[in-house]
A and B are shown apart, each in its own frame.
Chain A
Amino acid sequence: MIYAGIDAGSRAIKVVLINGRDRRVMGSGIADQGLKQEALASRLFDRVLKRAGVRRRGIRRIVATGWGRDAVTFADTTITEITCQACGVYREQGDAKTVVDIGGQDSKLIRLDTGGKVRDFVMSDRCAAGTGRFLEVVAARLEVPLGSLGELAGLATKPSAINSMCVVFAETEIIGLLASGEKPANIAAGVQASVSARIASMAGRNISEPVVFTGGVALVSGMTQALESALGYPVRVASRAQLTGALGAAILASRPE
């Protein structure tokens, strides 16, 4: 039996197929999120199925998660990304105690119990501070691709102090820094530090090792180091860091109801 997890995030859609017998990953895919959420998810799903050589009716059960989970109407049920992330990370790194997930529009910190169950979680509130969207805005302002933000930050001599936690104000602050002649490298490093500091304050003192980093932002160079120095703990980037939510959804789909 084959099971599917679809993580319809704010910036990207992720699909994972697993084999129910051994829960091995049989296929996966990532596509940009957009206006026609259902159609985009469906198209990606078909692509992943085709690559894996599986037909839709060969899929026993589909679980959707992520912000757009309710738009995935062909899913059998929905489960929140908190539960799915925990499950997916547990499958990838069984000893994980804390998950830091930074996605497109929010950040979460999940503490795990034994067996990949959620012990508790905290999430960023209303604004886009400390999220992938925030980094995107900054990268665009500094005219570097998001993926190169870390390389740029690596050249910093003295990271700028970015105090604004609001993505709109931070952009204004960055414009001010650029106008005053600050080096883009220092700004990039300052922004990464401020995003990480935001996560650290959200965590309070509730960090247990090992800390595993997931979500699209885990793939942005330099973020792991920035997070390590803010948290004061080593941070591991999850294997398949962008797919752990979808993986967790697929595993949960395979569980007897």
Chain B
Amino acid sequence: MNKQGKKKNASSAGARARGQSNQRPSSCCGKVRPASGVDAGPLAWFNDMVDHCLDYAAAQKKQGKHIVGLTCEYTPRELILAAGGIPVCLCGGDEGMIPAAEEFLPSNLCPLIKSTFGYSVRKENPFLELAELVITETTCDGKKKMYELMAGNRRMYVLELTQKPDDPDALAHWIAELRKLGGVLAEQFGVRITAGKIRDAIALMNRERTLRRALAELMKAEAPPLTGCELLNMKSIIAGIPADLEQYAKALRVLPGRKLDPPASERIRVLLTGVPMPHGAERVIKIIENNGGLVVCQENCTGIKPILEDVDAGAGDLMLALAEKYFHLPCSVMTPNRRRLDLLRRLVAEYRPQCIVEVIWQACLTYDVESFFVRRLAEEELGRPYLRIETDYSPSDSARIGMRIQALFETIKEHRTK
């Protein structure tokens, strides 16, 4: 852990101004518009997600809460919340941050890592500038080594994520890591993390996961009431904001029955898997949906993967309960990562996609190599066409990706008319 270089936090006003210039929420799915007049309030609410998060972070800070950055779904947000922290996802989705990162990092590295680091170099992620602590894990090698550079001027804590998911020793070590993290948070923020606080945090996160899961499950319908882009857009980078939870609940009331234009029946149902698509890096999902697809399921860390399992708030050993939930995440850094294949089997049965599209950020070795198993599962076992797209944040290959998506859809339609 690196304790040096604790930065003075940027004023929230300055941070906000920067946030507005650099983190504009992207409007999703330009061509695709809902047709019916049903209240689209919750969808519109999340168009201003970054602004809401900035307001919330500033207000919470004023009340003595601590902004804590995280860069991976393995970080248990519950522990941060229980320590009086506000967990914010720092994953970078902006291509514009990459050149600054490449002054320090190799260009042949995943764009997510470079963009996240570029924000740090340029001090342009207002949430990172507000953060008192950044919690990370030893996930992929690229991230792990980038954190060493980031630790030069940020207060960071690295959890050692063990990577043999079925090994009891690995879980035991992970539990020990979470206990240490609890100690670090308690010490840094001068609080006692009580079982009651952890339980409250678990209940809050369970509520958020339950709502987001229910939204994702709307896509199981023959005619889903929203697009994959819209669903992705309803993800907040700060967990547990009460106003967000209200909007999720409202969305669940108003969205069913909403009709898409073009209608779902004319689109190809797609299951998206692979790397996460952080805010600002939604390009591929837009290409899929603008070319006649409907992404009914997103098996990735910005989709359904981290919200499938809840934590037992009534468990006797809360640390164990937390550790288990997070350790079950089927990320490609795990070996072997059978849980991901099992999850794909289940999601294909539940969401009935007509094809599987895997997105791999360039130089993401673990997802790239693991795509061998995903393709085999898709084509040989599940009988679904599989398309692998390796790309980065630059739009230079959008036409090529679009062409491949179109060709995939043509093939599926051709076989349907057989």
Contact = CB atoms under 8 A, between A and B. Distances in A.
A83 B410 contact: yes
A120 interface: yes
Contacts of B407: 80-83, 118, 121
Contacts of A126: 391, 396-397, 400
Main DSSP-derived SS at the B contact region: helix
A7 interface: no
Contacts of A81: 403, 407
Contacts of A123: 400, 404
A236 B128 CA distance: 59
A79 B410 CA distance: 8
A71 to B, nearest CB: 12
A67 B406 CA distance: 12
Interface in A116-172: 117-121, 123, 125-126
Interface in B368-418: 379, 385-386, 390-391, 396-397, 399-400, 403-404, 406-407, 410-411, 414-415, 418
A125 B410 contact: no
A123 B396 CA distance: 16
A84 B386 CA distance: 20
A122 to B, nearest CB: 8
Interface residues of B, number: 18
Contacts of A113: 415
Contact of B403 (A80, A118, A120, A125): A80
B414 A83 contact: yes
Contacts of A118: 407, 410-411, 414
A165 to B, nearest CB: 13
Nearest to B403: A80
Contact of A125 (B386, B390, B406): B390
A117 B415 contact: yes
Contacts of B410: 79-80, 82-83, 118
Nearest to B386: A120
Question: Which interface residue of B379, B390, B404 has the most chain A CB atoms within 10 A?
Answer: B404
B168 to A, nearest CB: 37
Interface string A47-81: 00000000000000000000100000000000111
A209 B254 CA distance: 55
14 contacts: A79-B410, A80-B403, A80-B410, A81-B403, A83-B407, A83-B414, A117-B418, A120-B411, A121-B411, A123-B400, A123-B404, A125-B391, A125-B397, A126-B396
Interface of B: 379, 385-386, 390-391, 396-397, 399-400, 403-404, 406-407, 410-411, 414-415, 418
